[in-house]
Structure 1
């Protein structure tokens, strides 16, 4: 069993005319994830600078909690093609205050 917390962070791009629709379509998933065991935070948001970019941030107590939610996540159907993705999963072995 992996005791490390997990962060998924990154972004993806879509047609700028569809971006807000993509973000809105994930609203239910975000609400459910935040209620899921082991989810500290999850956000899928419109980037304030790039009109095609959607930012993704997830913070989970463990890989097991992440995988348990993914098994029942039921993400929205693809609204528009994803143009590019930059997303990474990070296992946290140590953390502390940022300042």
Structure 2
């Protein structure tokens, strides 16, 4: 399993529009084989920050989705990104 987590930074004035435009991408990811969870969400304190959280069964399934990733308009709107990939070797109950 792997987790993709971090944040994107966009123009605060355009963040809501950016997230509104992500609905199709989120639905597409969640419908993709191997996607366990996918979320892009507004930060409650920083008006230009978007949280990224993805959970995938395998790197291959993630790669298949990435080939159909964000539109050019979404990519251009990202001013900065701090997103990392975490390979998970085990999962335990809390």
Partner of 1:33: 29
Partner of 1:8: 4
Counterparts of 1:48 and 1:11, CA distance in 2: 13
Structure 1's unaligned 5+ residue stretches are none
Structure 2's unaligned 5+ residue stretches are none
| Equivalent residue runs for 1:66-81 within 5 Å | 66-73=62-69, 75-79=70-74, 81=77
Alignment RMSD (CA, Å): 1.4
Counterparts of 2:77 and 2:36, CA distance in 1: 29
Counterparts of 1:69 and 1:15, CA distance in 2: 26
Which protein is richer in helix relative to its size? Answer: 2
Q: TM-score, normalised by structure 1?
A: 0.86
Partner of 1:83: 79
